[in-house]
Amino acid sequence: MSDTKNELKQAFSLKFNIRDAGTLIGLIIIFIVFSLLSPVFFTAPNLINIMQQSAINAIVALGMTLVIISAGIDLSVGPVAALAAVVCASLMVAGVSVPLAVIAALLVGALYGLFNGVLIAYAGLQPFIVTLGSLSLCRAIALIYTGGNPIFGIPSSFRSFINGSVLGIPCPIIIAAVVAIVLYIILTKTPLGEYIFAVGGNEEAARVCGVPVAKTKIAVYVISGVLAAIAALILVGRLGAAEPTLGNLWEMNAIAAAAIGGASLMGGKGSVFGTILGAIILGSLTNGFTLLNIQSFYQLLATGIIIIVAMLVDRATRGK
């Protein structure tokens, strides 16, 4: 009885660390500023809008967070998403049932992640270089597969599912929330989560403890690939088309969200909650600047400043 109580207490305390509180404060400040500047900003429809716009990046960024905690990086998420999108779309157009096409897309993501992971874990190549290679390779496959043309004619059943909502909450937000919960459980409640932290924090010590280092690394890249595919499916559903060029710069936005949320590129540090907040911060910047009719150049400027400020705050508060 008290056991469960303790578990609950612990779950909560683990979730809310100081670094996440810092990110939350940052988000609140951004919300206050935009609310003062625009009356529309802090309204229910607009907030849902922000969440919906952040959902795709949040999903990709969550996979990236796992990779980053393991002291890796996945630069190939955009092209992997594109490949998953065009494969799924072409199957649906060819008359394959929607669930099967969706599974095929997830499989593409998983297989590509497996490819990255095996090269990194068994061939011992550096994650940055492997996934940089994959960035070109995978994009090329998507372009060659489609001849460079977008695929139209996505079945309406799929589109209406993605564009639908439950109790007023748009489907992409629900998908992102489910992904977040699953990853939160993986990261904080399962051995795999501890292995990811161990491998990223101190790979040698992890080896000495018999942690399956290679399998852990492969797992994070597979998860990252699958999440890129899920994000791609949302985009395909919303646009009603699959472009082989989709997902450009996704890796950068994902890394930004994870970093703002407190993930350390040195490995061993990061949280689901933080990354979600990071993605929402980036999403509300886009939204706020659009509402205020400010050139997107300034949005880029603000994003850059926020990333650097977040890192400075990180540095200043480390070890406290």
Partner 1 sequence: MGDYRLSMKGMTKKYGPVTVVEDVDFNVKPGEVHALVGENGAGKSTLLNMLSGVIKATKGQIYIDGNEVEISSPLAARELGIAMIHQELQNVPELSVFQNMFLGRPITKIGTFVDKKYEIQRAKEILKQLDDTIDPTVKIKDLKVSQQQIVEIARALLDNAKVIAMDEPTSSLTPREFENLSVLIRNLAKSGVSVIYVSHKMDEIFTVCDRATILRDGHFIACVDMKDECEDSIVTKMVGRKIEKVSHHSYCTNECVLEVKNLSRGNVVKNASFKVHKGEVLGISGLVGAGRTELFRLIAGLDKPTSGSILVNGKNLPLYSVKQSIAHGIGLVPEDRKKDGILKQRAISVNIAMPDMKRYTKFGLIRRSFLKNISLDFMKELNLRPLNVDRTIGTLSGGNQQKVIIGRWLASGTQIFLFDEPTRGIDVGAKSEIYQVIEDLAKQGKVVLVISSEMTEIMRVSDRVLVMREGEIVANLEHDDINEDNLAKYAIGQNKQVA
Residue 198 engages partner 1 in binding (rule: CB under 8 A): yes
8 A C-beta contact, residue 62 and residue 122: no
8 A C-beta contact, residue 260 and residue 281: yes
Which residues inside 243-272 make contact with partner 1, applying CB under 8 A?
268-269
Residue 189 engages partner 1 in binding (rule: CB under 8 A): yes
The only residue of 29, 100, 140, 205 in contact with partner 1, by rule CB under 8 A = 205
8 A C-beta contact, residue 61 and residue 281: no
Q: Candidates 4-12, 138-146, 150-158, 304-312 — which segment interacts with partner 1 by CB under 8 A?
A: 4-12
**Residue 92 CB, nearest distance to partner 1 (Å)?**
33
8 A C-beta contact, residue 314 and residue 61: no
Q: Which of 228, 280, 254 is nearest to 108 (CA)?
A: 228
Residue 201 engages partner 1 in binding (rule: CB under 8 A): yes
Q: How many CB atoms lie within 10 A of CB 6?
A: 10
**Residue 181 CB, nearest distance to partner 1 (Å)?**
13
**Residue 211 CB, nearest distance to partner 1 (Å)?**
6
Which residues inside 147-186 make contact with partner 1, applying CB under 8 A?
185
**Residue 7 CB, nearest distance to partner 1 (Å)?**
6
8 A C-beta contact, residue 300 and residue 309: no
The only residue of 12, 124, 210, 293 in contact with partner 1, by rule CB under 8 A = 210
Residue 19 engages partner 1 in binding (rule: CB under 8 A): no
Task: Please say whether the dihedral angle defined by the alpha carbons of residues 20, 303, 61 and 36, taken in this order, is positive or negative.
Answer: positive
Residue 314 engages partner 1 in binding (rule: CB under 8 A): no
DSSP strand pairing (165-166 vs 169-170): antiparallel
Could you tell me how many residues of this chain bind partner 1 (CB under 8 A)? Answer: 25
- CA 140 centroid distance within chain: 22
Residue 133 engages partner 1 in binding (rule: CB under 8 A): no
Residue 211 engages partner 1 in binding (rule: CB under 8 A): yes
8 A C-beta contact, residue 94 and residue 242: no
Give the C-alpha separation, 73 to 63, whole Å: 10
Say how many Å lie between the first and final Cα of the chain, rounded: 34
**Residue 209 CB, nearest distance to partner 1 (Å)?**
4
Q: Which residues bind partner 1 (CB under 8 A)?
A: 3, 6-7, 10, 185, 189-191, 194-195, 197-198, 201-202, 204-212, 268-269
